[in-house]
Amino acid sequence: MRQSVNTLVPIVRPTLGVVWQLLHTVFRRQTSIPVWGRNIWSAAALSAAVLMLIGVAFWTAYAVGPTQWALPHVVYVPVFVAGIAFGYPGGAAAGLLMGLLLGPSGSWDASVGLPQDTAVWIARTIFYVWIGVMIGILADVASMLYERTVRLREFDPNTGLANGLAFSKALRREVEDGDRHGRLSCLYVDCPTYELVLQWAGPEEAYLLVTELAYALCKAAPPQAVIYQVRGGLFATFLRSTEEGEAVALAQRLVDVNANRFYVAGTSMAIDCYCGVASLPPGSRDVWAVSHHAAAALRLAQQQDNPVVKYEETTDGYEPNAIRILSELHKALASGSGLSLAFHPIIDSATGRCVTVEALVRWTHAVMGPIPPAHFIPVVERTSMIRPLTHWVLTNAVRQCADWARDGLDVAVAVNVSSRDVRAADFPDFVRDTLDRHHLAPGKLELEITETASMSNTEDSMAALTVLADIGIHISIDDFGTGYSSLERLRRLPADRLKIDQSFVRHVVEDADDDCIVRGSVALAHSMGLKTVAEGVESAVIADKLKGIGCDYLQGFHFTPPLPDADLRAWLARNAHPAGAVHPAAA
């Protein structure tokens, strides 16, 4: 054994030199190294591992014996590892090194000391090199496929820009770095013209437009502000700045690209661009907050037709616990725990009697405690979960109203429904089945739909509301005056009540404009054969004013806040007033 090793020394030393040169070449040719071997430290570690494996294989072949087992199995390990780690140059180098180490001066079988044939050694070395090259080529192909997959996942194929997924990852990394390199600002740039071109000229022209726009934005942005294409005509970037106003200045530079002329379907045209800017508060690590704030600023820019809007602390509907709220509410609906109803009386202004109560959902979470409706209702309304929530409220409200009727209480119940509910094909059947199941007359149920919802998807909404009205259910238009009503569509709706929004009612006494709006709404409703309900009545002065205007029904904290069933029963017993003036809540 020692004699064989000594014989190999003159061969091993130059061989190691050749391998070193090969590895040096591999390190310099970064493009030939798979992605997992391009870091210099990982490459050095892999090189050490390969050399160690080669040493183990060499020792095994000469010391363990018989080499008939060691050669065809152990030797492949370093060749495979080198090929995978460094591509075909590394695989070839490892195969050549193993062939030289187990060269003609080595024995074929260490146990008997028989020398091996030179032709066999050469053939075996060529085979090792071939295996290393093949494994390396396969590793390079796998690396290319991996890089292609990453690029398809994180880059837009038309513009070549990194997409929204890549932007989210990059923004998260920047947020985690904190304020060490300046304050972080997030910018969203949107081109509404893209949607118009997509609709009018087709996807091919829209892609060409967005490609031109991407080039213009990249040209306008400084090197440190990388442009990402989130989707379609929506782009994003972020900026580290040390001076106040630097982010807004960048935003202005980006939207100024709309001064360029863009070619669509062979025609030169101008485009519109809007930008929303938001800065990360000092010390904050909330990546989703800064992204949402920038998106909220962008929406405001489009609504105001203002090219650049910087986010300010305003109510924009952002709910940081939205995902958790949806998850927990889903559990609450499935188990029925934590949800309850409160009822807000609606008073007849002529008699002072409670004729209807509005059912309002309340939610008390086991851990988070009572959750205000303003925190979870807007979140739920933006998802399909509003339908099961409405079904739960409607079912329990109808059941409760049926219980009141059996106990001799002559009050109806009103339930808020969303546009998603009204558009559902099975909604009229669900309402009818619920009434039948609890033996409640249709006239004891009122469905309140907001003005905006009643105007959207008119034909579908009209058909569903007409079916419900035909069986005797009352339809009420809620929050009147806050949406965008079409009088022609309003005339066609099968509604019998119109609820004037509280934003006009609360200041009807001192504000001449609100007084005019309320009077006009009451007159309009009466001329169309509708009764009116005023929301937000908070004082006796407002109640008397509304009664004088001719408002039919009143609702507000002047009478009582929303009450659970037991408290409502007691309140009704205390407030069984005779016909006459409107009375406040009893003590």
Report the pLDDT averaged over residues 48-56: 68
Q: What is the pLDDT of residues 364-404, one digit of tens each?
A: 988 888 988 888 888 888 788 899 999 999 999 999 999 99
* Contact present, 293 and 318 (Cβ < 8 Å): yes
Q: Using pLDDT thresholds of 50, 70 and 90, give the confidence band for residue 64.
A: low
Q: Where are the beta strands (DSSP E) in 452-567?
A: 474-480, 497-500, 531-534, 553-554
Q: Using pLDDT thresholds of 50, 70 and 90, give the confidence band for residue 93.
A: confident
Q: What is the pLDDT of residues 270-279, one digit of tens each?
A: 888 999 999 8
Please report, rounded to a whole number, the percentage of residues in the chain having pLDDT higher than 70.
Answer: 77
Q: What is the pLDDT of residues 129-158, one digit of tens each?
A: 888 888 888 888 877 877 777 777 888 888
Spell out the alpha helix ranges (H) of 382-437: 386-406, 419-423, 427-437
Q: Decide if pLDDT at 455 tops 60.
A: no
- Rounded CA separation 347/350 (Å): 9
* Contact present, 460 and 499 (Cβ < 8 Å): no
Q: Decide if pLDDT at 266 tops 90.
A: no
* Contact present, 88 and 25 (Cβ < 8 Å): no
Number of other CB atoms surrounding residue 529 within 10 Å: 8
Number of other CB atoms surrounding residue 403 within 10 Å: 14
Which residue, among 346, 260, 276, has the nearest Cα to 316 in the 3D structure?
276
Burial of 280 (C-beta count, 10 Å sphere; 0-12/13-18/19+): buried
- Rounded CA separation 257/415 (Å): 50
Higher pLDDT, 304 or 401: 401
Q: What is the pLDDT of residue 69?
A: 47
Computed over every residue of the chain, the mean pLDDT equals 80
Please say whether the dihedral angle defined by the alpha carbons of residues 362, 366, 370 and 374, taken in this order, is positive or negative. Answer: negative
Q: Using pLDDT thresholds of 50, 70 and 90, give the confidence band for residue 5.
A: very low
Q: What is the pLDDT of residues 523-578, one digit of tens each?
A: 988 998 899 999 999 999 999 999 999 999 999 999 999 999 999 999 998 876 44
Q: What is the pLDDT of residues 408-421, one digit of tens each?
A: 999 999 999 988 88
- Rounded CA separation 35/33 (Å): 6
Question: Of how many residues is the chain composed?
Answer: 587
Higher pLDDT, 91 or 511: 511
3-state secondary structure of 445: strand
Number of other CB atoms surrounding residue 266 within 10 Å: 6
Report the pLDDT averaged over residues 8-33: 45
Among the listed ranges 41-50, 349-358, 367-376, which one has the minimum average pLDDT value? 41-50
Residue 446 identity (one-letter amino acid): E
Q: Using pLDDT thresholds of 50, 70 and 90, give the confidence band for residue 113.
A: low
Q: What are phi and psi of 120, to 5 degrees?
A: -65, -45
Report the pLDDT averaged over residues 55-69: 57
Which residue, among 208, 226, 202, has the nearest Cα to 159 in the 3D structure?
208
Q: Where are the beta strands (DSSP E) in 64-176?
A: 107-109, 114-115
